[in-house]
Structure 1
Amino acid sequence: MIRSLPLVALLGLIATPALAHTGVGPTAGLASGFGHPIGGLDHLLAMVAVGLLAAQGAATSGRRALWAVPAAFVGLMVVGGVLGMSGLPLPMVELGIVGSVLVLGVVIALGRHLPLGAAMALVGALAIFHGHAHGTEMPLAANGLLYGLGFALATSLLHAAGIGLGLAASRLDEKRAPLLIRVGGGAIATAGLALMVL
């Protein structure tokens, strides 16, 4: 038995850990990035609001708004994520995130259709705060590229959910759809105000 100890020790040293668990190895970045936007109510509400704003804007700006508004958000969120991963400071990130929920909710609730360029600029500016928070909260062991892909994918899915809600309202009752979307915006704005107070 004593003669087999060196063999056991050698096998122990060369053994690699089992990577069957989520959050270990390459999947750690993707899973962590995907979970980040979904894990916070402020992020979740803002992402759905961007989708609702895109659906609302499609009535005046055409169907191009359905992809252009979310694409502007995701693109500038990635820029903010790179800034956060790089350690570059951005003032008032948390206020910018919670404020984005309130601002987007109010814009939707007012029902005044923004020109497509203005809607893209608004969501893009707000996206930098969300991206910066994602970037600064990246786990140390995560792969930055996979982490960024994860939060971009989750964000896109949440945008799609908001667009889906807006389009579903139009299919259910075309006349009342604008009002239903505005009520949704009001609910989001109210939640944003509550998050600011808390």
Structure 2
Amino acid sequence: MTLTRFAAIAALTLMATPAFAHTGFHASGFVAGLSHPFNGLDHVLVMAGIGIWAIQLGGRNLWLVPLAFVATMVLGAGLALMNFPLPEVELGIAGSVVVIGMLVGFGARLPAGTAAALIALMALFHGHAHGTELPAMASVWGYAAGFVLSTAMLHAIGLGLGLAVFRLARPAVLRAAGVLTALAGLAMVSGS
């Protein structure tokens, strides 16, 4: 798939509006879930960073690493909705910014299972935060569908950016972005 075709598909996907034709799927929950990951720099940096790191890893990690994040994020949200406490959620989220920044910045190469497990640990904190912040009177299913979709979009943006930079033969740009992400994460950790 060419970069132009990928960009066109991504742009059309972002412009598409959902059809709320099924009962129990309220727009307010979906829209809240869709916007939630975009409302925090920590979420954006981690989710896009995961896509970039998946490109750096290559192979089956292109789908395994983002999928591990999304699946475990849903689990984390479910734990929050069941009032299961997770200690230091904000610190875990800020720490995940540092970790993904370092992984990208150093171009870390980990086995697929280890990479997926590390990403899943990060996702547990992000998902718990999503679940905790479910708006009152919002559809749980709509909200979950929204934050899963926006997370997948952020992963796709990271994959697209990573692919574009690699095609331009500029991996140092990705590493610099990773270092800047890690520094932003350190600032977040110190503020937690």
- 4+ runs deviating over 4 angstroms: none
Matched letter for residue 86 of structure 2 = L
Query: Would you say how many aligned residue pairs link Structure 1 and Structure 2?
Result: 167
Matched letter for residue 149 of structure 1 = A
- The CA distance in 1 between the partners of 2:30 and 2:82, in whole Å, is 18
TM-score, normalization by structure 1? 0.82
- The CA distance in 2 between the partners of 1:86 and 1:70, in whole Å, is 25
Could you list the per-position Cα deviations for residues 7-52 of structure 1 after superposition, in whole angstroms to 9, with x for gaps in the alignment?
xxxxxxxxxxxxxxxxxx8101100011110001111111111111
Are 2:160 and 1:142 equivalent residues in the alignment? no
- The CA distance in 2 between the partners of 1:26 and 1:123, in whole Å, is 30
Partner residue, 2:175: 182
- The CA distance in 1 between the partners of 2:180 and 2:157, in whole Å, is 16
Could you list the per-position Cα deviations for residues 73-127 of structure 1 after superposition, in whole angstroms to 9, with x for gaps in the alignment?
0000000011111111110000000000001111211122111111111100110
The secondary structure found in structure 2 opposite 1:111 is coil
Partner residue, 1:10: none
**CA RMSD, Structure 1 to Structure 2 (Å):** 1.1
Deviation at 1:69, TM superposition (A): 0.5
Which residue, out of 74, 77, 80, partners 1:78? 74
Partner residue, 2:17: none
- Where does structure 1 lack aligned partners over 5 or more consecutive residues? 1-24
Deviation at 1:197, TM superposition (A): 2.3
Q: Which has the larger radius of gyration?
A: 1
- The CA distance in 2 between the partners of 1:112 and 1:30, in whole Å, is 35
Matched letter for residue 163 of structure 1 = L
Partner residue, 2:158: 162
- The CA distance in 1 between the partners of 2:154 and 2:134, in whole Å, is 20
Are 2:185 and 1:192 equivalent residues in the alignment? yes
Matched letter for residue 49 of structure 1 = G
CA contact (8 A) 2:53 2:107 kept: no
- The CA distance in 2 between the partners of 1:85 and 1:112, in whole Å, is 34
Map of 1:24-43 to 2, 5 A cutoff? 26-43=26-43
TM-score, normalization by structure 2? 0.84
- The CA distance in 2 between the partners of 1:114 and 1:181, in whole Å, is 17
